[in-house]
Amino acid sequence: MEKAVQHKLISTALKAIPLGSIKPQGWLKNQLQIQADGFTGHLDEHWEDVGPNNGWLGGNGDSWERGPYYLDGLLPLAYLLDDPKLIAKTKPWIEWALASQREDGSFGPNDLRQENAILHDNQDWWQEMIMLKVLIQYQEATNDERVIPFMEKYFSYLQEALIQYPLKEWAQARGADLLLSIHWLYEKNKDDSLLDLTEIVREQTTDWSKIFDKFPFWRKQEQWDHRTHVVNVAMGIKTPAVFYRQTNNDWEKEAVYKGIESLMTYHGQAHGMFSGDEWLSGTHPSQGVELCAVVEYMFSMENLVRILGDGKFGDILEKVAFNALPATISEEWDAHQYDQQVNQVICNAAHRPWSNNAEANMFGLEPNFGCCTSNMHQGWPKFTASAWMATEDGGVAAISYVPCNVQTLVADGKDLEITVRTEYPFRETVTMEVNVSESIRFPLLLRVPEWCVNFEVKINGEVQNAIVKNGFARFEREWNKDDVIEVTLPMEVKLEERNNEAVSVNRGPLVFALPIGEQWVKVQERVRFHDWEIYPTSAWRYGLVKDATFTVEIQDIVYQPYNTADAPIKLVTTGRQVANWVMENNSAGAPPLNPIPYRDAKEETIELVPYGAAKLRIGEFPVLK
Ligand SMILES: [Zn+2]
């Protein structure tokens, strides 16, 4: 008997692999360790907002997003590094959250003396949405049996509570994050009543599908509006795909692509993100991009590649992860910016034409506002956990070529281990070693980046013919122990055209910038995590000479490759100082459309480094005619 057709969730093209199955190696592991030794492993000791008095630990301090935000990065980091100290730090938060559930199913820091939640017209559901994302990762890492019943009880509570107190403000803009958690639970328990809740939430969430289908925000925005708030937009871009799973509307799937194209056209920046120094801010390379937007856009790309199965989202994910993320955090992960600029020639407290305050581009503990201080931690850990995914038909897919070890199940439950050895994206080759106990047939998908023209795959030394679909090359065969896959991703220097004939320099997924000499000046001293201004000690106003060539210089990769002096790869080219390029509003002015060289300035050899390494830099250049 066939069941009557019911409303169901459309399957995702790829499936996430549980947290802990993909372990970082090489330079990526070092990034995670650096973050554990810096902010992520020690923030609770030095910043009261996530300290023992946080509301999510039963205290009377911050009870909104900061605790859950912190855990959303600390928890995956702890399990990816298998670090007992960090895991111990997550425990009180998890235990408190699970124990906080009330009779009616609600949870979180309300007033625990009450049996039930006390709701009011300004009820904000946002902080709970974050904690649900934390609990999902916790369940995947530990299989703790309490999580699923906890979520079932909470969602059955929400079914009524949301009708009376609908999503508003932040929660309304970010409803897709709640849907991700409901979808996750539905895939575990197949309880159809959850599908009613998904419709309630979808109807209450900002209609990002409509916004991205016909994008209305063409210019720099200056007024309060959740639809142009840069973090909301970075989160919102996944929403049409999340909705599509429920509505099956192809136009919503398309809205994701149209939205990304519009964002890049009207607000795009050289590092693959769009600007927003609070609100969407246009293409000027001195506008800011908030760190929260960087990590949330990465999370959106991780979900988009999972739901839609298009490698294009892996390309964007890598570009943002390898460039925008390290650029805005100090080498030792002990200071960060709220807003980064592509052309960042000075970081100091000064008024700039953006909505954030004068301190927003300084490096420190909480410049401008503490959201990024608590939210930045999810970037590398979730990226690591998403580097590989499972296919619908029992195989695996490489989303990113970062060094890692993957242990997962393929072909109906058989063990597979793949070790990925590489220094990609600082190098062009990747070696994968397959470990299986018996020969197993399954498909292996390798992402073919759009920038890569001569992508090559060898299996056990033999060059393969790849059929590329949706940005992935598929290799279905009997895999045996010790099979070796060698992937070569030749990287060419490509100039990307920016506004007014300026250019940015790309090689593979890396963006290259001219580093400016940096003098770090401590402006506020604390026990740890000080605040800094950075002043330039060398000239910045270089244009590139027309048709200049680029020579690649390679150095050994060091513990922290995002470092100007020891950059593992440099591009040597020719530049010349430009006379009509000046400071405006405490930043570099827009690259001049008709750059005029200084009469006395000769052509000079200049060295470009990965964008993420240089904290003062030029990332968008005028070109001398
Ligand atoms: Zn932020």
Q: How far apart are CA 368 and CA 14, in angstroms?
A: 38
Mean pLDDT for the stretch of residues 577-593: 97
CA-based nearest residue to 25, from 420, 589, 474, 446: 420
- pLDDT, residue 288, reads 98
Residue 585 domain flag: yes
For residue 299, how far is its CA from the centre of ligand 1 (angstroms)? Answer: 14
Assign residue 70 a region: left if phi > 0, alpha if psi is -120 to 50, beta otherwise? alpha
- Split at pLDDT 50, 70, 90, the class of 504 is very high
Q: How many domains does the chain have?
A: 3
For residue 74, how far is its CA from the centre of ligand 1 (angstroms)? Answer: 16
Range of the domain at 564: 493-624
For residue 239, how far is its CA from the centre of ligand 1 (angstroms)? Answer: 20
Are 294 and 324 in contact by the 8 Å Cβ rule? The answer is yes
Are 254 and 339 in contact by the 8 Å Cβ rule? The answer is no
On whether both 605 and 469 belong to a single domain, the answer is no
Task: Look up residue 443 and give its two tokens.
Answer: 């498909």
Residue 597 domain flag: yes
CA-based nearest residue to 508, from 315, 317, 301: 315
For residue 185, how far is its CA from the centre of ligand 1 (angstroms)? Answer: 28
Are 408 and 324 in contact by the 8 Å Cβ rule? The answer is no
Whether the model pTM is above 0.95:
yes
Mean pLDDT for the stretch of residues 362-384: 98
For residue 374, how far is its CA from the centre of ligand 1 (angstroms)? Answer: 8
On whether both 50 and 138 belong to a single domain, the answer is yes
Are 423 and 557 in contact by the 8 Å Cβ rule? The answer is yes
On whether both 397 and 521 belong to a single domain, the answer is no
For residue 34, how far is its CA from the centre of ligand 1 (angstroms)? Answer: 21
pLDDT in tens, 317-334: 999 999 999 999 999 999
pLDDT tops 80 at residue 390: yes
- pLDDT, residue 110, reads 77
Please provide the DSSP assignment of 313-357 as one string.
HHHHHHHIIIIIHHHTB-TTSS-B-SEE-SSB--BSS---SSSS-
Task: Look up residue 521 and give its two tokens.
Answer: 């000046």
- pLDDT, residue 98, reads 98
Q: Which domain CATH number covers 436?
A: 2.60.40
Residue 337 domain flag: no
Strand partners, 410: 414
For residue 337, how far is its CA from the centre of ligand 1 (angstroms)? Answer: 9
- Split at pLDDT 50, 70, 90, the class of 112 is low
On whether both 439 and 574 belong to a single domain, the answer is no
For residue 290, how far is its CA from the centre of ligand 1 (angstroms)? Answer: 6
- Split at pLDDT 50, 70, 90, the class of 121 is confident
Mean pLDDT for the stretch of residues 348-373: 97
Calculate the average pLDDT of the chain: 96
For residue 578, how far is its CA from the centre of ligand 1 (angstroms)? Answer: 35
Q: At what angle do helices 26-37 and 66-80 cross, to 10 degrees?
A: 140
Residue 281, CA distances (Å) to 196, 220, 234, 486 in order: 38, 4, 13, 42
For residue 378, how far is its CA from the centre of ligand 1 (angstroms)? Answer: 12
Are 302 and 240 in contact by the 8 Å Cβ rule? The answer is no
On whether both 601 and 531 belong to a single domain, the answer is yes
Residue 101 domain flag: yes
pLDDT tops 70 at residue 7: no
For residue 362, how far is its CA from the centre of ligand 1 (angstroms)? Answer: 14
Task: Look up residue 447 and give its two tokens.
Answer: 């992402």
Q: How far apart are CA 260 and CA 267, in angstroms?
A: 10
For residue 134, how far is its CA from the centre of ligand 1 (angstroms)? Answer: 18
Q: How far apart are CA 69 and CA 379, in angstroms?
A: 11
On whether both 463 and 573 belong to a single domain, the answer is no
CA-based nearest residue to 499, from 400, 612, 615, 623: 623
Chain position carrying tokens 């372990």: 23
Q: How far apart are CA 484 and CA 418, in angstroms?
A: 10
Are 529 and 335 in contact by the 8 Å Cβ rule? The answer is yes
Residue 357, CA distances (Å) to 195, 249, 369, 534, 588 in order: 43, 41, 9, 17, 18
Looking from the CA of 559 toward its CB, the CA atoms found within 13 Å total 6
Residue 32 domain flag: no
- pLDDT, residue 122, reads 78
Please provide the DSSP assignment of 169-217 as one string.
HHHHHTHHHHHHHHHHHHHHH--THHHHHHHHHHHHS--HHHHHHT---
Residue 251 domain flag: no
Are 298 and 320 in contact by the 8 Å Cβ rule? The answer is yes
Enclosing H/E stretch for 374? helix 371-375
For residue 295, how far is its CA from the centre of ligand 1 (angstroms)? Answer: 9
Q: How far apart are CA 321 and CA 139, in angstroms?
A: 26
Assign residue 20 a region: left if phi > 0, alpha if psi is -120 to 50, beta otherwise? left
CA-based nearest residue to 287, from 33, 524, 587: 587
pLDDT in tens, 519-549: 999 999 999 999 999 999 999 999 999 999 9
- Split at pLDDT 50, 70, 90, the class of 119 is confident
Q: How far apart are CA 474 and CA 482, in angstroms?
A: 19
- Split at pLDDT 50, 70, 90, the class of 5 is very low
pLDDT in tens, 244-301: 999 999 999 999 999 999 999 999 999 999 999 999 999 999 999 999 999 999 999 9
For residue 431, how far is its CA from the centre of ligand 1 (angstroms)? Answer: 37
For residue 28, how far is its CA from the centre of ligand 1 (angstroms)? Answer: 23
Give the CA diameter of the chain. 86
Strand partners, 496: 504
On whether both 78 and 156 belong to a single domain, the answer is yes
Query: How many other CB atoms are found less than 10 A from the CB of residue 547?
Result: 7
- pLDDT, residue 105, reads 96
- Residue 428's SS3 state is coil
Q: CB within 8 A of 242, min separation 6: which ones?
A: 176, 179, 180, 183, 303, 307
For residue 291, how far is its CA from the centre of ligand 1 (angstroms)? Answer: 6
Q: How far apart are CA 335 and CA 92, in angstroms?
A: 26
On whether both 437 and 573 belong to a single domain, the answer is no
- Split at pLDDT 50, 70, 90, the class of 120 is confident
Residue 212 domain flag: no
pLDDT tops 70 at residue 2: no
CA-based nearest residue to 365, from 29, 65, 66, 52: 66
Do strands 623-624 and 542-545 pair parallel, antiparallel, or not at all (unpaired)?
A: parallel
Q: Which of 154, 188, 205 corresponds to the end of one domain?
A: 205
pLDDT in tens, 43-98: 999 999 999 999 999 999 999 999 999 999 999 999 999 999 999 999 999 999 99
- pLDDT, residue 454, reads 96
For residue 149, how far is its CA from the centre of ligand 1 (angstroms)? Answer: 32
Q: Which of 147, 182, 205 corresponds to the end of one domain?
A: 205
On whether both 181 and 196 belong to a single domain, the answer is yes
Do strands 289-290 and 339-340 pair parallel, antiparallel, or not at all (unpaired)?
A: antiparallel
For residue 376, how far is its CA from the centre of ligand 1 (angstroms)? Answer: 8
For residue 77, how far is its CA from the centre of ligand 1 (angstroms)? Answer: 19
Q: Which of 425, 457, 488 corresponds to the end of one domain?
A: 488
On whether both 423 and 541 belong to a single domain, the answer is no
For residue 184, how far is its CA from the centre of ligand 1 (angstroms)? Answer: 26
Cα–Cα–Cα angle for 192, 195, 198, nearest 5°? Answer: 160
Q: CB within 8 A of 558, min separation 6: which ones?
A: 566, 568
CA-based nearest residue to 14, from 422, 258, 307, 234: 307
pLDDT tops 80 at residue 1: no
On whether both 565 and 610 belong to a single domain, the answer is yes
For residue 369, how far is its CA from the centre of ligand 1 (angstroms)? Answer: 7
- pLDDT, residue 395, reads 98
For 389-393, the CB contacts below 8 A with 24+ separation are 389/14, 389/15, 389/16, 389/17, 389/305, 389/306, 390/14, 390/15, 390/16, 390/17, 391/14, 391/15, 391/443, 391/445, 392/11, 392/13, 392/14, 392/15, 393/442, 393/443
Task: Look up residue 417 and give its two tokens.
Answer: 């281990």
Task: Look up residue 555 and give its two tokens.
Answer: 């150095």
Are 559 and 30 in contact by the 8 Å Cβ rule? The answer is yes
pLDDT in tens, 393-447: 999 999 999 999 999 999 989 999 999 999 999 999 999 999 999 999 999 999 9
On whether both 482 and 518 belong to a single domain, the answer is no
Residues within 5 A (CB) of ion ligand 1: 292, 371-372
Residue 380 domain flag: no
Look up residue 602 and give its amino acid. Answer: K
For residue 235, how far is its CA from the centre of ligand 1 (angstroms)? Answer: 12
For residue 312, how far is its CA from the centre of ligand 1 (angstroms)? Answer: 26
Mean pLDDT for the stretch of residues 161-173: 96
